[in-house]
Amino acid sequence: GDDGDGKKGKKGADWNESKRVAPVTTVSNDALTSSIESQYGMTDRGRELLTRGLVTRRVGEAESDKPKRLYFVSGGAKKLLSADARGGGGGLQVVAAGVKAFERQTAPGAKCDYRATQEGLDVLLPHLTKQVVRASKREIESVLCRQQGQPISAQASSANLLRPVDAPEGCWEKDTLAAMRKVTSGCVVLVARVRDVGHASDERDRKKAKKEKKEKKEK
């Protein structure tokens, strides 16, 4: 509004909690990003995503060290948001920005206070080398049914009863159990294990070429 002299007043130029739209700011807490890198075994590209594309909302000083949610944004978007933050964060009223990648959720014994979100896995999954368990579709079905209070199939129920004593409920296949023994306390990403058709085709072509080479040599 005008200040009485026909000029636009500066009232409200800086952000305050009454506006209810907190500015988006970059994440510069090295300890926070390091704990995520260590927990999930981030690849070099994954570490680059954390250092260059991670942002959050400035809700209050109490959350400055450990924000509730962390988001990924593109390099261009981060430059724009960083420029606005340097001006006090009042220039842009950003309602939504980026893809939610991590959310604060402490777990007993966990060294990292953040869990990976479902929304961020499309970006994150290729860059995680730890805390990922690939399970069969039947195992995942069993886990989901148990969480939702739904009955599982008779076949899955029988397999579940025969799992090792130290195995978590819903996991019984050898490869799944081997992966589960490698994870630590905290968030675990459960992924459906599927046969890689492309890899299988390449393997068949390789064996065929090897066989033809051998036959040609024998002639």
* CA–CA dist 19, 118 (Å, integer): 29
User: What confidence score (pLDDT) does residue 118 get?
Assistant: 94
| Highest mean pLDDT, choosing among 5-14, 30-39, 199-208 | 30-39
> Can you tell me the mean pLDDT for 101-130?
93
User: What confidence score (pLDDT) does residue 13 get?
Assistant: 46
Task: Give yes or no for residue 213 having a pLDDT over 80.
Answer: no
Residue pair 174/136 in contact (Cβ under 8 Å)? The answer is no
Residue pair 75/65 in contact (Cβ under 8 Å)? The answer is no
Q: Nearest Cα to 104, choosing from 59, 68, 54, 61?
A: 68
Q: Half-sphere exposure of residue 146, counting CA atoms within 13 Å on the CB side?
A: 13
Q: Per residue in 64-73, pLDDT tens?
A: 678 999 999 9
Residue 153 DSSP symbol: P
Structure-token pair, residue 187: 């968030």
H-type helices in 24-151, by residue range? 30-40, 44-53, 75-86, 121-124, 137-148
Task: Give yes or no for residue 183 having a pLDDT over 60.
Answer: yes
> Can you tell me the mean pLDDT for 149-155?
87
> Can you tell me the mean pLDDT for 180-194?
91
User: What confidence score (pLDDT) does residue 177 get?
Assistant: 92
Task: Give yes or no for residue 103 having a pLDDT over 50.
Answer: yes
User: What confidence score (pLDDT) does residue 10 get?
Assistant: 46
Q: Per residue in 37-59, pLDDT tens?
A: 999 999 999 999 898 889 988 76
Give the length of the chain.
219
Residue 196 CA: distances (Å) to CA of 36, 125, 140, 179, 201: 29, 16, 18, 18, 9
The backbone torsions φ and ψ at residue 15, rounded to the nearest 5 degrees and listed phi first, read: -70, 145
* CA–CA dist 60, 58 (Å, integer): 6
Task: Give yes or no for residue 124 having a pLDDT over 50.
Answer: yes
